[in-house]
Amino acid sequence: MTQQGVRWTADQVLALAPDDSSRKAGSKLGAAGPWSEAGSSDEGTVWGLCRGSGGKPYQTVVDIADAAGPAYKCSCPSRKFPCKHAIGLLLLWAGGPGAVPTAEPPGWAEQWLEGRRKRAESKRGEAAAGPSAGSADPEAARRRAERRAERVTAGATELEQRLSDLLRAGLATAGERGYGLWEETAARMVDAQAPGLAARARELGAIPDSGPGWPVRLLEECALLHLLDQGWLRRDRLPAGLAATVRSRIGLPASADGPPVRDTWLVLAQYDTADAKLTTRRIWLHGVGSGRDALLLSYGAAGRSPELALPVGLALEAELSAYPGAGQPRAALGEQFAAPAPTSVRPPGRTPREAVARYGEALRDDPWLDAVPVTLERVIPAPDGDSWQLADADGDTALPLAPAALSRPGLWRLAALSGGAPVTVFGECGHRGFTPLTAWPEKTGEAVALC
Amino acid sequence: MNRTSAPDRPAAQAAPAAWEELVTSALLGTDRRPPATGGPRRAAPVALLDAAALETVRRRAGLRAAPAVRRPDPAADDPRPALPAAAARRLALLLADRPGTGSGGRRGTSPDLKELLPQWLAAANGHGYAAPAESLPALLDAARGRTDLRPAALTFAGPRALWLARLNPDWRFALRAAPGGAAAPGPDTPERVRQVWEEGLFSERVALLSALRSRDAAAARELLVASWATERAEDRLMFLDSLRTGLYADDEPFLEAALSDRSRNVRATAAELLSALPASALARRMAARAGSCVSVDRTRDVPAIVVEAPLECDTSMERDGVVAKPPTGRGQRSWWLGQLVEAASLGSWSRRLGGRSPREIVALPVADGWQAELHAAWCRAAVRQDDAEWSRALLGAPSAPEAGGPGAVSLAERAKLLGTLATAERAEWVAGFIATHGLSEAFQLLGVCAVPWAGPLGRAVVDALDIARDAGSYPWSFSGVMGLAERCLDPAEAGRLEGLLAVPDESEDAAPGAGGYWAEAFQRLMTTLRLRATMSEELAPPRPSGP
């Protein structure tokens, strides 16, 4: 892991930081000054002592070889995770072998590693023993699922009624009644144990304030919510794949029980969205051999970074298992056969015309889909009035950028990277437009994260 | 996606009438406006939602790519080599550390990254690297907030930054700051120069003249002479001022003619420029005038300088730039004397004052309290005429007791005098000064020393900081010097700081807790030095370049 070529870049390290302030604090610690006795082992462990303001230096260890992403341990009292010392240490290590030589781990680091290894083994043991032990009582589980289905059905029926009332009175009244109506509806759907319906209902509340054209968007979203309700209420008449998609859209729990697919997965993008309680991290992967796109989700409590971190520009040799549902990109990371390593392989690209067609086809499997992951090849970012588009360098078509993408700093990094020349851009292509997430310069060069 | 200018707006023109109808019906309510699609078997709102769901998915599935607008013209090529990877990462870190995000007052032990950005840019420009494209937005944002960074940042950012700045109004300053383009050294063919000079805006002409002056002093002057008579007075002043760069003897006839200019400010500037040419006729005239006022009185036991200030300011003096009316509070005669001595060629004094060297002249006592006036004027002359020997004499020995006190020569003047000395000598003098007088007065003097500080100077500063710590004061009394040291000390000195990092036992007369703060300050100093050493290693080309 710590062979020269596999050292991470500073960007990759900084992507692990839970927020901006720890990113900054960590980058200040990424120099030799405060560190002593730093070292790294061939097994993928980095450690060091960091002198802080107190007398006793902090002991920081990071295990980067773990399949589920790096693990950290630091004796500092910070509640950030990873703390600035771990970030600083990894930056130091990323800087080159000079500051962090290969060595044997000291006692205190070895102790922690030992504990981790033991835990991992016992876990693996449990997993192996898992299926035979089975869940406690399949009959009870079935009854629980049935009760939940009843509640969801009641919720979906109630939601249908509310939508009908709304349409009968007219959407114009929704604009006047404001956010409260939808908050209450969302709360009812939470009670009905249908988080997917709750989230959609909550989003409806924001549409009347979303600028010109809101009645159209509100009608679209109401209609799709209605479609989801109807899908649930008649799920027994749907094909299995679509029924699973409906269950997943409603927000029912599912396990990633698809067959494991082993491949070299390129990390195409990683980005976080946060609300008051939860940070959600999305990681887009592309299988070099299978040509499949997959989405890994990872969650963290507010203020903590989600545990899984796969910086853009790496590739990992691993097995992924898909979650159920037709057209659902979500997958779970299974066994990893080698630690993630930098790669120069790029995903195959399409033209804007093909990208839009791909979104259209994907709607066949999942009509609620907002966007599909797409890599565009040879496109030129071009300003278009107040907006921007990605224009096909060899044709006359273009994809407009999604409005939300226009205010992000990534837009300017994309423009700068292009300089008027064609670039390769990975992003999400949907009915709102294209959201660029990662870009590659025309000829050679590393991936540049835009999100 | 068949939407061009506003992707979020419905594609009203392309939408079929059926969809329009649904939207209207939904907006007004099915009670008031039943949808046409409503069948007998389902309630009107449900029928509307059914139809709308079908239409929504149909519309989304049927999206088509938009027609492409005009693509921007490609940015000019940047032929400079790319940054080494480690240096590119360092740049990203330096740029991520924005001002105003620090943890407030106390600085802790970590380096102040934004203070290192100017140095990093200078070094990168020294190597002639091109900026990584993806760093340009952050680089432009940094330069937008800090005007002092702009020249170096824009040079480094290169042509693509100008291309980018045209697309974003936030970065318009970049276009203003580089009229000819920081990367393009300006027009180089004589015809193009002539054209810009004759047709360009004032700012373009000033930029052209300064650029040309630094390349070819004579050509710039000739350009100016050709149109001199037709320029406006305030423009003439600015143009004249650009001759300060590379001023040399051939400029004299032109400047001499400008002494008769209609504008008083132009005359004064011409006189000032001429007096900076010791061999000029004006400097000689002033020397004759000044010489008649200053002489050595040999009748005393110890020879001393006696001063007889001028009695009047005649028109020929005024033509040579002497301002007749003194500022409020100053005596006329001493005011005139000061101006004469300041403009007089320094080389003439030796002859005038009995063949003495500058050092001997400065050492002579001055009668009747004229010393301050006379020495101050000599200081100004030494700076203006860039005369190292006189500067040395006026500075005196750094360890002399009056060097530290409020002597005849102020700190500001000493800093200017030091500017005329070679870098090694300058550093040595300041080192001597610090060794004797400590750091409390040294800030201004350190500011004129070349970076990184020469060995003796660096050692003197570190020793003085150590002494200040032992004396029991708090480190923030020296925060200015500390900050300078972080930026200017040679990274090779980092090893010498090791011994200073320990928190010493608190002595009785020390300020409470000072030891810990000092250890922290030294820790930061050392970390910063290490970081600077790493930074410059990262910037070194992979293998020796060039033939």
Q: What is the pLDDT of residue B371?
A: 85
Q: Is A255 part of a structural domain of the chain?
A: no
A419 touches chain B (CB under 8 A): yes
Between CA B220 and CA B197 the distance in angstroms is: 11
Q: Is A111 part of a structural domain of the chain?
A: yes
* pLDDT at residue B29 tops 70: yes
- Chain B residue at shortest CA distance from A171: B27
| A402 and A432 fall within a common domain | yes
Q: Is A134 part of a structural domain of the chain?
A: no
| Low-confidence winner among A176-180, B85-89, B107-111, B443-447 (lowest mean pLDDT) | B107-111
Alpha-carbon gap: A403 to the closest alpha carbon of chain B (Å): 7
Contacts of B63 in chain A (CB under 8 A): 356, 359-360, 431
Q: B64 and A356: CB-CB below 8 Å?
A: yes
What one-character DSSP code corresponds to residue A106? P
Mean of the per-residue pLDDT values of chain A = 86
* Residues linked to residue B304 through DSSP beta bridges, in sequence order: B297
Residue written as tokens 């052209």?
B208
Q: Is A403 part of a structural domain of the chain?
A: yes
Closest CA to B278 of B202, B416, B385: B385
**In the structure, what pLDDT confidence band is assigned to residue B37 with cuts at 50, 70 and 90?**
low
Q: What is the pLDDT of residue A291?
A: 93
- The last residue of a domain, from among A72, A103, A127: A127
Contacts of B77 in chain A (CB under 8 A): none
Alpha-carbon gap: B497 to the closest alpha carbon of chain A (Å): 11
Q: The domain spanning residue A329 has which CATH number?
A: 2.40.50
Judged by DSSP in three states, A270 sits in strand
| B196 and B255 fall within a common domain | yes
HSE, CB side, 13 Å, CA atoms: give it for residue A163.
Answer: 34
- Chain B residue at shortest CA distance from A448: B134
| Average pLDDT of the segment spanning B346-364 | 87
| B317 and B346 fall within a common domain | yes
Q: What is the pLDDT of residue B182?
A: 38
As a whole number of angstroms, the longest Cα–Cα distance in chain B is 131
Q: Are B207 and B186 in contact (CB under 8 A)?
A: yes
| B203 and B256 fall within a common domain | yes
Alpha-carbon gap: A88 to the closest alpha carbon of chain B (Å): 11
A359 touches chain B (CB under 8 A): yes
Closest CA to B396 of B192, B80, B382: B382
Closest CA to A150 of A162, A158, A140: A158
| B286 and B272 fall within a common domain | no
A257 touches chain B (CB under 8 A): no
Bridge pairing between strands A423-430 and A371-384: antiparallel
For the stretch B164-181, pLDDT in tens is 999 998 998 888 765 444
**In the structure, what pLDDT confidence band is assigned to residue B321 with cuts at 50, 70 and 90?**
confident
For the stretch A409-440, pLDDT in tens is 899 999 999 999 999 999 999 999 999 999 99
Q: Are A350 and A375 in contact (CB under 8 A)?
A: yes
Closest CA to B525 of B43, B112, B6, B61: B112
Q: What is the pLDDT of residue A105?
A: 85
Contacts of B49 in chain A (CB under 8 A): 163-164, 167, 222-223, 226
Q: B133 and A416: CB-CB below 8 Å?
A: yes
Between CA A370 and CA A372 the distance in angstroms is: 7
Token pair listed for B111: 């380096």
For the stretch A195-210, pLDDT in tens is 999 999 998 888 888 8
Mean of the per-residue pLDDT values of chain B = 82
| Average pLDDT of the segment spanning A113-136 | 68
| Low-confidence winner among A295-299, B80-84, B279-283, B402-406 (lowest mean pLDDT) | B402-406
Q: Is B75 part of a structural domain of the chain?
A: no
| A150 and A241 fall within a common domain | yes
* pLDDT at residue B40 tops 70: no
Residue written as tokens 């804007």?
A352
**In the structure, what pLDDT confidence band is assigned to residue B195 with cuts at 50, 70 and 90?**
confident
Q: Is A347 part of a structural domain of the chain?
A: no
Q: B503 and A55: CB-CB below 8 Å?
A: yes
| Residues A122, A123, A129: CA angle, nearest 5 degrees | 90
Residues A281-300 as b/e (b if ≥16 CB within 10 A, e otherwise) read bbbbbbbbeeebbbbbebeb
A48 vs B16 pLDDT, higher one: A48
Q: What is the pLDDT of residue B11?
A: 44
Q: A33 and B46: CB-CB below 8 Å?
A: no
| A40 and A102 fall within a common domain | yes
| Low-confidence winner among A225-239, A272-286, B211-225, B406-420 (lowest mean pLDDT) | B406-420
DSSP E strands in B298-387: the ranges are 304-307
| Average pLDDT of the segment spanning B220-236 | 88
Judged by DSSP in three states, B239 sits in helix
| A96 and A147 fall within a common domain | no
CB atoms within 10 A of CB A427: 31
DSSP string, A303-328: TS--S----TTEEEEEEEEEPSSTT-
- Interface size A-B, in CB pairs within 8 Å, comes to 254
Contacts of B23 in chain A (CB under 8 A): 215-216, 219
A125 vs A315 pLDDT, higher one: A315
H helix intervals, B166-280: 172-177, 190-199, 202-215, 217-227, 233-241, 252-258, 264-275
Q: Is B174 part of a structural domain of the chain?
A: no
Partner A, chain B 160-189, Cβ-Cβ below 8 Å: 160, 163-164, 167-168
Q: Is B216 part of a structural domain of the chain?
A: yes
Contacts of B59 in chain A (CB under 8 A): 431
Residue % of chain A over a pLDDT of 90: 46
CB atoms within 10 A of CB B412: 11
Q: Is A256 part of a structural domain of the chain?
A: no
Q: Is B32 part of a structural domain of the chain?
A: yes
* pLDDT at residue A254 tops 90: no
Q: Is B173 part of a structural domain of the chain?
A: no
| B425 and B523 fall within a common domain | yes
| B532 and B422 fall within a common domain | yes
CA B355 to chain centroid, in Å, comes to 42
Whole domain around residue B472: which residue ranges?
415-540
| Average pLDDT of the segment spanning A246-263 | 91
Q: Is B140 part of a structural domain of the chain?
A: no
**In the structure, what pLDDT confidence band is assigned to residue A66 with cuts at 50, 70 and 90?**
low
Q: Are A279 and A445 in contact (CB under 8 A)?
A: no
**In the structure, what pLDDT confidence band is assigned to residue B108 with cuts at 50, 70 and 90?**
low
Contacts of B521 in chain A (CB under 8 A): none
B106 touches chain A (CB under 8 A): no
Between CA A39 and CA A42 the distance in angstroms is: 10
For A400, the closest of B10, B66, B530 (CB atoms) is B66
For B68, the closest of A32, A33, A396 (CB atoms) is A396
Between CA B177 and CA B223 the distance in angstroms is: 24
For B30, the closest of A51, A168, A212 (CB atoms) is A168
| A332 and A403 fall within a common domain | no
For the stretch A71-90, pLDDT in tens is 888 888 887 778 888 888 88
Q: B63 and A395: CB-CB below 8 Å?
A: no
| B258 and B239 fall within a common domain | yes
B8 touches chain A (CB under 8 A): yes
Q: What is the pLDDT of residue A1?
A: 39
| Low-confidence winner among B92-96, B191-195, B501-505 (lowest mean pLDDT) | B501-505
For the stretch A148-161, pLDDT in tens is 999 999 999 999 99
Count structural domains, chain A. 4
| A145 and A228 fall within a common domain | yes
* pLDDT at residue B514 tops 70: yes
Q: Is A270 part of a structural domain of the chain?
A: yes
| Residues A201, A205, A208: CA angle, nearest 5 degrees | 135
Q: Checking phi first, is residue B181 left (phi over 0); if not, alpha (psi -120 to 50) or beta?
A: left
Partner A, chain B 467-526, Cβ-Cβ below 8 Å: 503, 520, 523-524, 526
A352 vs B420 pLDDT, higher one: A352
| A432 and A365 fall within a common domain | yes
Closest CA to B500 of B464, B446, B456, B453: B464
- The last residue of a domain, from among B260, B277, B294: B277
Q: What is the pLDDT of residue A109?
A: 86
Q: A448 and B167: CB-CB below 8 Å?
A: no
Q: Is B493 part of a structural domain of the chain?
A: yes
Q: What is the pLDDT of residue B473?
A: 78
What one-character DSSP code corresponds to residue B8? T
Residue A306: C-alpha distances to residues A71, A301, A328, A329, A340 (Å): 12, 8, 22, 19, 18
CB atoms within 10 A of CB B158: 23
Partner B, chain A 154-193, Cβ-Cβ below 8 Å: 160, 163-173
Between CA B276 and CA B274 the distance in angstroms is: 5
| Average pLDDT of the segment spanning B11-40 | 75
Q: Checking phi first, is residue A170 left (phi over 0); if not, alpha (psi -120 to 50) or beta?
A: left
| B295 and B324 fall within a common domain | yes
For the stretch B414-430, pLDDT in tens is 888 888 888 888 888 88
Q: B113 and A27: CB-CB below 8 Å?
A: yes
* pLDDT at residue B105 tops 60: no
| B332 and B376 fall within a common domain | yes
H helix intervals, A65-106: 84-95
Between CA B446 and CA B482 the distance in angstroms is: 11
Q: What is the pLDDT of residue B180?
A: 44
Partner B, chain A 18-77, Cβ-Cβ below 8 Å: 21, 23-25, 27-34, 51-53, 55
Whole domain around residue A419: which residue ranges?
352-449
- Residues in contact with B159: Cβ distance below 8 Å, sequence separation at least 6, in sequence order: B75, B76, B77, B78, B181, B183, B184
| B500 and B440 fall within a common domain | yes
| A221 sits in which H/E element | helix A214-233
Q: Is B162 part of a structural domain of the chain?
A: no
Sign for the pseudo-dihedral over CA of A328, A332, A334, A337: positive
For A226, the closest of B8, B43, B53 (CB atoms) is B53
Between CA A9 and CA A96 the distance in angstroms is: 10
Q: Is A46 part of a structural domain of the chain?
A: yes
| A330 and A357 fall within a common domain | no
For B29, the closest of A27, A167, A224 (CB atoms) is A167
* pLDDT at residue B519 tops 70: yes
ipTM confidence: 0.80
Q: Are A80 and A18 in contact (CB under 8 A)?
A: yes
Count structural domains, chain B. 4
| A364 and A317 fall within a common domain | no
| Average pLDDT of the segment spanning B114-133 | 90
| A114 and A226 fall within a common domain | no
| For the ranges A52-61, A381-390, B218-227, B458-467, the one whose mean pLDDT is highest | A381-390
Closest CA to B131 of B78, B93, B186, B183: B78
**Residue type present at position A424:** T
Contacts of B108 in chain A (CB under 8 A): 53
Closest CA to A371 of A333, A399, A347: A399
A114 vs B181 pLDDT, higher one: A114
H helix intervals, B438-454: 443-447
| B334 and B430 fall within a common domain | no
| B264 and B333 fall within a common domain | no
Q: What is the CA radius of gyration of chain A?
A: 24
